[in-house]
Amino acid sequence: MSQADATQAAPPKREKLFTADGTPLRKALERANRRRKLTALALVGPLLAFILIFFAFPIAQMMWRSVDNPQIVNALPRTLQALDTWDGQGVPNEAVFAALHADMIEDLDRPRREQTIGPLGIRLNYELSAARSAISRTSRAVQNFDAPYSDAFMDAHRLWGQPELWRIIKREGRPLTLSYYIAATDREYDEAGNIVKRPENRQIYVSLFGRTLALSLAITFMTFALGFPIAYFLANMPMRYANLLMIAVLLPFWTSLLVRTSAWIVLLQQQGVINELLVNIGLISDGNRISMIYNQTGTIIAMTHILLPFMVLPLYSVMRTIPVSYTRAAKSLGATPWTAFRRVYFPQTLPGIGAGGVLVFIISIGYYITPALVGGQSGRMISNEIARHIQQSLNWGLAAALGTMLLVGVLVLYWLYNRLVGADSLKFG
Amino acid sequence: MSSTTKLFGLSAAVSVLALSAAAQDPVSLTIVSWGGAYTTSQQRAYHEPFMEANPHVTINNDDGSANALAGLRAQSQAGNVTWDLVDMLPSDAQLACDEGIIMQIDHDEMLAAAPDGTPASEDFLPGSLGECFIPQIVYSTILTVRPGAFPDDAQPETIMDLFDVENFPGRRALQDRPGTNLEWALYADGVDPDDIYDVLSTPEGVDRAFAKLDTIKDHIIFWTEGAQAPQLLADGEVAFATGYNGRMFEAIEVEGMDARIVYDGQIVEWDGWVVPADGPNLDVVMDYLYFATDTQRLADQAKYIPYGPARASSAALVGDHADLGIDMNQHMPTAPENYFAPIILDNDFWVDYGDELRERFANWMLQ
């Protein structure tokens, strides 16, 4: 309205405003804005590039790996074509075996680094035990095979006579696969190609996800229960004492993770400091030492200690900014100390609790060194399985599927948190 | 004509000079191994003598063997191979070989013959050579007991005793993977060592092994890293621990831990070298391999750690421990008095069935 007034009030001939050198003001303003935007971009540029190269790109690559499935397509193009007409029942006909023979012979002539039969065997073994040795044993003998090839193959390894191996080759002979996700949810294909639950004694990942969630929640709650009083105590202290005591929170924070974990082992094990003390003062008998480590208790205790600073620091920084006068005012209006705390003080700490809780929860859901060392069999988390698949079994596809599920799970939980509490209320300092 | 010859001669002389200078350029090798007493034994038996003979070579140790397969694959896919030589288990070597990320080995061409002229392929212990794998030692996974946990007249002597919680109470430290545990469960259940893998490749056999493990489940602490097993014994946390015989020797003989090795049912396996494909210093690596796997050098390693040399011709040269002066022969897993009931680890079996059994084992641990 006012702008319209201004233009109307101006003399009709001077419709535009000009700068001293005669450029229209609007243009000059745009140019200045553009320059400022470019400067801003140049300033955040390095960080943006850093995040893209070292964070976004690897994560995208990891997620890609969970569906990428090149091994069978690369190794057996002719076989897959010949399998097109196979109905999935019984052993395929001679034409398929001839195609397989041709594929394997061709592979032998490639330079070793480009051979596809080795990776094929490793890939098939994820779906069917002993498939790797079927492939490698056959590949060593394939040069001497004569027609009819089906007999030669079945002589070389029993698995060639099993329809299951062929069904897997046909099913997984596509550049993309869902099989890693199917395995990551404790499922598998049955004979008819339906996705069904695995036999009970091979189901692990779903219950491990559940346990990881439960342990992380327990740890988050423990850090809150222990951290809240500490932060309150520190925040309501004269600054110079608070700073001094803050060292008690920060010193463990700066100590190596492995040192702290080992210290807990020394303290908590059955022949450890705490059990020894309890036995010596006669609280428990020598034969009834408490198992506090190599189980879930160990994981919760050690991780609570390790993650405590991540709860205390945001809480402390929020509590520092809460004026004491509010509580005093409440009390002067007749509130009991408990009511004043509950209705006036505590609600103001919620942004700190939210920040600390989200921080601790998300860190603990992906933790793996501490659970691996003190968790025993019942205190292991999903990250231990992911690490095992990356480092030992080398099933990177399955590790990527599990990792993606973990990532998406965290994002969903964060989204829920945002809907329920509001992420804008998070305060880290 | 003559000037051309001169020129040719001159340039040849220059290139010879350049070549000899290149041969003496400082080279730094990164050798990946298992760390601890084992790397020390390699440092003293192989690395130091080799560096002395080749002053331009420096050898750096990297303790990354536990995850060497993942490292090799990552380096190969990134196209930036920084490891020169890797100490690896044969099952991992087989997988790496299948993937084409390590070099194939022509054993007779690349390795020294025995002093009596026997070619390498015949001198290395039967079955130990792999397509891409050069064996170095024979080690075993053994049971170790803490004598103080039991009365003097009723000490555990067999793998059956590991599974007998009534007569031998106390907790047991086992490795957190199916390998060795399933073999021992079947062995303790009465399966003949030679038949173990046949039984284990049937579903009934696997069930049988897990049923046997169930009987001691409430008494198990699982260990992950090789160093944890002797630590748990030394702390008095467990009465039994499984572990690698070299680490247990180190803890008992060198550090004075009160424990005793039970050789019954020892699980015997090789360990050795693989060469990453496309490594930067292949020539020097080949020199090193020729040197470090000859008869004398393999026997030398046994001065520092009780792992048996993988060459038949080295056996006679095994002597006393370099620092302790004790005879190493009696501490070798392959010494006749220790080798009475060995189970030879079947790497093909574990390459084939490992994925499935690891899942089953993880499920069993979670229950």
Q: Kindly list the distances between the CA atom of residue B55 and the CA atoms of B50, B59, B298, B301, B306, in Å, as whole numbers in the listed order.
A: 8, 11, 22, 21, 29
pLDDT, position A372: 87
Q: Do A352 and A231 meet the contact criterion of CB atoms below 8 Å apart?
A: yes
pLDDT, position A11: 52
Q: Do A128 and A159 meet the contact criterion of CB atoms below 8 Å apart?
A: yes
Question: Would you place residue A418 in the very low, low, confident or very high pLDDT band (cuts 50, 70, 90)?
Answer: confident
pLDDT digits (tens, 9 = 90+) for A266-276: 999 988 999 99
Using CB atoms, pick whichever of A201, A373, A390 lies closest to residue B70.
Answer: A390
Burial class (CB in 10 A: 0-12, 13-18, 19+), A271: middle
pLDDT, position A15: 64
Amino acid at B318: V
Cis amide linkage into residue A148, ω under 30° from 0: yes
Using a CB–CB cutoff of 8 Å, tell me whether B365 touches chain A: yes
Partners of residue B69 in chain A, C-beta under 8 Å: 391-392, 394
Residue B312 has pLDDT above 80, yes or no: yes
User: Cα angle vertex A405, ends A360, A173, to 5°?
Assistant: 160
Nearest chain A CA: its distance from B60 CA (Å): 22
Using a CB–CB cutoff of 8 Å, tell me whether B131 touches chain A: no
Residue A228 has pLDDT above 90, yes or no: yes
Query: Model's pTM, two decimal places?
Result: 0.86
Using a CB–CB cutoff of 8 Å, tell me whether A286 touches chain B: no
Q: Which two tokens stand for residue A54?
A: 């070292």
pLDDT digits (tens, 9 = 90+) for A155-169: 999 999 999 999 999
Q: Whole-number mean pLDDT of chain B?
A: 90
Residue A20 has pLDDT above 90, yes or no: no
Using a CB–CB cutoff of 8 Å, tell me whether A67 touches chain B: no
Chain A segment 364-383 residues within 8 A of B by beta carbon are 372-373, 376-378, 380
Using a CB–CB cutoff of 8 Å, tell me whether B323 touches chain A: no
pLDDT, position A311: 95
Report the chain B residue with the minimal C-alpha distance to residue A131: B352
Better pLDDT: A109 or B211: B211
CA A332 to chain centre: 50
Nearest chain B CA: its distance from A54 CA (Å): 14
Checking DSSP bridges between strand B343-344 and strand B134-145, what pairing results, if any? unpaired
Partners of residue B358 in chain A, C-beta under 8 Å: 388, 393
Nearest chain B CA: its distance from A197 CA (Å): 14
The answer to whether B69 contacts A392, with C-beta atoms less than 8 Å apart, is: yes
pLDDT, position A147: 81
Q: Which two tokens stand for residue A117?
A: 């039969």
pLDDT digits (tens, 9 = 90+) for A37-53: 999 999 999 999 999 99
Q: How many whole angstroms separate alpha carbon A215 and alpha carbon A371? A: 10
Burial class (CB in 10 A: 0-12, 13-18, 19+), B235: middle
Question: Would you place residue A14 in the very low, low, confident or very high pLDDT band (cuts 50, 70, 90)?
Answer: low
Q: Do B293 and B273 meet the contact criterion of CB atoms below 8 Å apart?
A: yes
The answer to whether B365 contacts A377, with C-beta atoms less than 8 Å apart, is: yes
Q: Do A204 and B366 meet the contact criterion of CB atoms below 8 Å apart?
A: yes
pLDDT, position A267: 93
Using a CB–CB cutoff of 8 Å, tell me whether A136 touches chain B: yes
How much is the average pLDDT of B55-66? 94
The answer to whether B98 contacts A204, with C-beta atoms less than 8 Å apart, is: no
Element (H, E) at B358: helix B347-366
Using CB atoms, pick whichever of B73, B98, B210 lies closest to residue A121.
Answer: B98
Nearest chain A CA: its distance from B138 CA (Å): 22
Report the chain A residue with the minimal C-alpha distance to residue B276: A113
Residue B7 has pLDDT above 50, yes or no: no
Residue B15 has pLDDT above 70, yes or no: no
What's the complex ipTM? 0.84
Q: How many whole angstroms separate alpha carbon A368 and alpha carbon A172? A: 32
How much is the average pLDDT of A142-146? 90
CA torsion through residues B253, B256, B261, B266, sign: negative
Q: How many whole angstroms separate alpha carbon B365 and alpha carbon B360? A: 9
The answer to whether A377 contacts B220, with C-beta atoms less than 8 Å apart, is: yes
The 10 Å Cβ neighbour count of residue B61 is: 16
Burial class (CB in 10 A: 0-12, 13-18, 19+), B165: middle
Report the chain B residue with the minimal C-alpha distance to residue A208: B366
Q: Which two tokens stand for residue A366?
A: 């992906």
The answer to whether A129 contacts B356, with C-beta atoms less than 8 Å apart, is: yes
Q: How many whole angstroms separate alpha carbon B165 and alpha carbon B175? A: 18
Q: Whole-number mean pLDDT of chain A?
A: 90
Q: What is the Cα gyration radius of chain B? A: 23
First CA to last CA distance, chain B? 88
pLDDT digits (tens, 9 = 90+) for B222-272: 998 888 899 999 999 999 999 999 999 999 999 999 999 999 999 999 999
CA torsion through residues A199, A204, A207, A209, sign: negative
Q: How many whole angstroms separate alpha carbon B325 and alpha carbon B314? A: 19
Using a CB–CB cutoff of 8 Å, tell me whether A391 touches chain B: yes
Using CB atoms, pick whichever of B67, B99, B210 lies closest to residue A122.
Answer: B99
CA torsion through residues B222, B225, B230, B234, sign: negative
Using CB atoms, pick whichever of A117, A122, A380 lies closest to residue B95.
Answer: A122
Q: Kindly list the distances between the CA atom of residue B292 and the CA atoms of B46, B287, B324, in Å, as whole numbers in the listed order.
A: 5, 9, 23
The 10 Å Cβ neighbour count of residue B227 is: 17
pLDDT, position B239: 95
For chain B, what percent of residues have pLDDT higher than 90?
79
Partners of residue B348 in chain A, C-beta under 8 Å: 133
- Among A180, A151, A152, A164, residue whose Cα is nearest residue A71: A180
Question: Would you place residue A9 in the very low, low, confident or very high pLDDT band (cuts 50, 70, 90)?
Answer: low
Residue B192 has pLDDT above 60, yes or no: yes
The answer to whether A204 contacts B363, with C-beta atoms less than 8 Å apart, is: yes
Using a CB–CB cutoff of 8 Å, tell me whether A291 touches chain B: no
What residues form DSSP beta bridges with B220? Answer: B172
DSSP 3-state of B124:
strand
Element (H, E) at B307: none
φ, ψ of residue B24 in degrees (nearest 5): -95, 0
Which of A243-252, B4-13, B331-340 is predicted with the least confidence, judged by mean pLDDT? B4-13
Residue A207 has pLDDT above 60, yes or no: yes
Element (H, E) at B90: helix B90-99
Nearest chain B CA: its distance from A200 CA (Å): 9
- 3-state SS track over chain A: CHHHHHHHHCCCCCCCCECCCCCEHHHHHHHHHHHHHHHHHHHHHHHHHHHHHHHHHHHHHHHHHCCECHHHHHHCHHHHHHHCCCCCCCCCCHHHHHHHHHHHHHHHHCCHHHCCHHHHHHHHHHHCCCHHHHHHHHHHHHHHCCCCHHHHHHHHCHHHHCHHHHHHHHHHCCCECCHHHHHHCCEEECCCCCEEECCHHHCCHHHHHHHHHHHHHHHHHHHHHHHHHHHHHHHCCCHHHHHHHHHHHHHHHHCCHHHHHHHHHHHHCCCCHHHHHHHHCCCCCHHHCCCCCCCHHHHHHHHHHHHHHHHHHHHHHHHHCCCHHHHHHHHHCCCCHHHHHHHHHHHHHHHHHHHHHHHHHHHHHCCCHHHHHHCCCCCCCHHHHHHHHHHCCCCHHHHHHHHHHHHHHHHHHHHHHHHHCCHHHCCCC
Using a CB–CB cutoff of 8 Å, tell me whether A385 touches chain B: yes
Using a CB–CB cutoff of 8 Å, tell me whether B280 touches chain A: no
Residue B140 has pLDDT above 90, yes or no: yes
Q: How many whole angstroms separate alpha carbon A116 and alpha carbon A70? A: 10
Q: Kindly list the distances between the CA atom of residue B118 and the CA atoms of A168, B114, B296, in Å, as whole numbers in the listed order.
A: 47, 5, 14
Q: Could you please report the per-residue DSSP string of B276-302? A: BTT-TTHHHHHHHHHHHTSHHHHHHHT
Q: How many whole angstroms separate alpha carbon A230 and alpha carbon A237? A: 11
Using a CB–CB cutoff of 8 Å, tell me whether B81 touches chain A: no
pLDDT, position A253: 86
pLDDT, position B1: 41
Using a CB–CB cutoff of 8 Å, tell me whether A393 touches chain B: yes
Q: Do B148 and B258 meet the contact criterion of CB atoms below 8 Å apart?
A: yes
pLDDT, position B285: 96
Checking DSSP bridges between strand B134-145 and strand B260-274, what pairing results, if any? antiparallel
How much is the average pLDDT of B26-30? 94
Element (H, E) at B196: helix B196-200
Contacts across the A-B interface (CB distance below 8 Å): 94
Which residues touch A2 (CB under 8 Å, ≥6 apart)? Answer: none
Q: How many whole angstroms separate alpha carbon B293 and alpha carbon B282? A: 16
Using CB atoms, pick whichever of A132, A201, A385 lies closest to residue B351.
Answer: A132
Using a CB–CB cutoff of 8 Å, tell me whether A209 touches chain B: no
DSSP 3-state of B189:
coil
The answer to whether A378 contacts B366, with C-beta atoms less than 8 Å apart, is: yes
Burial class (CB in 10 A: 0-12, 13-18, 19+), B19: exposed
Using CB atoms, pick whichever of B70, B100, B348 lies closest to residue A394.
Answer: B70
Question: Would you place residue A13 in the very low, low, confident or very high pLDDT band (cuts 50, 70, 90)?
Answer: low
pLDDT digits (tens, 9 = 90+) for A229-238: 999 999 988 9
